[in-house]
Amino acid sequence: MIFYKTEEEIDLIRASARVLAQAHGEVAGMIREGITTRELDRRAEEFIKDHGGKPSFKGYRDFPFSLCISPNSVVVHGFPSDVALKSGDIISVDCGVELNGYHADSAYTYPVGEVAPEVLELLAETKKSLYLGIEQAVAGNRMGDVGYAIQNYVEKRGYGVVRELVGHGIGQKLHERPDVPNYGKRGSGLKLQTGLVLAIEPMVNLGTKSVVQEKDGWTIRTKDLKPSAHFEHTVVVRKDKAEILTSFEYIEKALQ
């Protein structure tokens, strides 16, 4: 079943999204050479709990951390670790917050120190594709319009769009129907209606679209070991323009 949200429910998701955005800002301000991703995870969990929320990911299907932190060739679902970040790395930080019974979910990929120009370009283009997908999340469009906008943009630039992992509906559950693929055909799929809340999250590889799962049962890595970028917002379908509920505002302030 697909759950369309009332304005009251959207307000509750918006409140979760505000804490989530601030938690991302806390993490963003810590990212530098020499810090471990486990330290980032601890800070995010502490901040979320201090602001009345719960980390959506911790304990979800037995996931053991509050953040998914995915460096370099890891696409998503990476485990925080005691390995220190080094110059040239990129890391995707994916976080969810549950507050008052409703979830919000977002992700951002960061460069660490001096990163190769082609990798910085991958980050910028993946972020751009997220907003192009969001532009299509309006009532009357189809789900395929969202995926097509993302796929068409990044594949023209020679990148690979991951197929095995997709965005999703979100609300009282972290993952709800429908799936939100980052590829598709215009005019195909579910007709979008006002009140549908979606996590749109392009996962884009510098090389091919192929991925593999590691033995931990969570970590997804590019098959060719080339870098991957991941950006995500929680949005609500509206009549004329999608409303973005999450925010990168605090991240961008921390990175200045």
Binding residues for substrate: 77, 175
Binding residues: 77, 94, 105, 168, 175, 201, 232
Would you state the structure tokens that stand for residue 146, as one six-digit string?
């969202």
Binding residues for a divalent metal cation: 94, 105, 168, 201, 232
